[in-house]
Amino acid sequence: MEKNDNFKTRVLSLVKIIPKGRVMTYGQIAALCGKPNAARAVGTIAHYGPSELPWQRVVNKTGGLASAYTYGGRVGQKAQLEADGVIVDKHNKIDIEKYIWWPK
DNA sequence: GACTTGACTAGAC
DNA sequence: AGTCTAGCCAAGT
């Protein structure tokens, strides 16, 4: 049963453990799940995944906020990241190099 | 049940 | 330096 959901579950679990004030990239999460080039899959899973996941801490390589693409009106994300201690730019960009986090 | 689209990234041209 | 292709997984049609 868990074999089919293995990748999806891994991604979701990984996002759940992102500490406050830190962020991760799609490619990074994908790589940690065993598929270094499955960044797209990560985004897809995220979009259809539970809304309780802190996807606001997940960003793309350009440092842009994730849901900014589809949920452009989701202004709460910026405030949420700032509440976590992440400085968000005017253009919804963050210092990815500074806030990137890797699980130990 | 097969095809298409989608919160992405990296490499090739 | 900018544009295009390829690769992954899941959900919708």
A47: nt with nearest C1' to CA: B7
Q: What is the pLDDT along chain A (104 residues), one digit of tens a residue?
A: 545 678 999 999 999 999 999 999 999 999 999 999 999 999 899 888 887 888 888 999 988 877 555 444 455 677 778 889 999 888 778 899 999 999 98
Contact A69, A62 (CB under 8 A): no
Residue A3, pLDDT score = 52
Distance A95 CA to C11 C1' (A): 32
Residue A85, pLDDT score = 92
Task: Name residues whose C-beta falls within 8 Å of residue A9's C-beta, 6 or more positions apart in sequence.
Answer: A2
Residue A52, pLDDT score = 80
Strand C: list positions under 7 Å from protein Cβ.
6-12
Q: Which helix (H) or strand (E) element contains residue A25?
A: strand A24-25
Distance A2 CA to C2 C1' (A): 43
Distance A56 CA to B13 C1' (A): 35
Residue A4, pLDDT score = 61
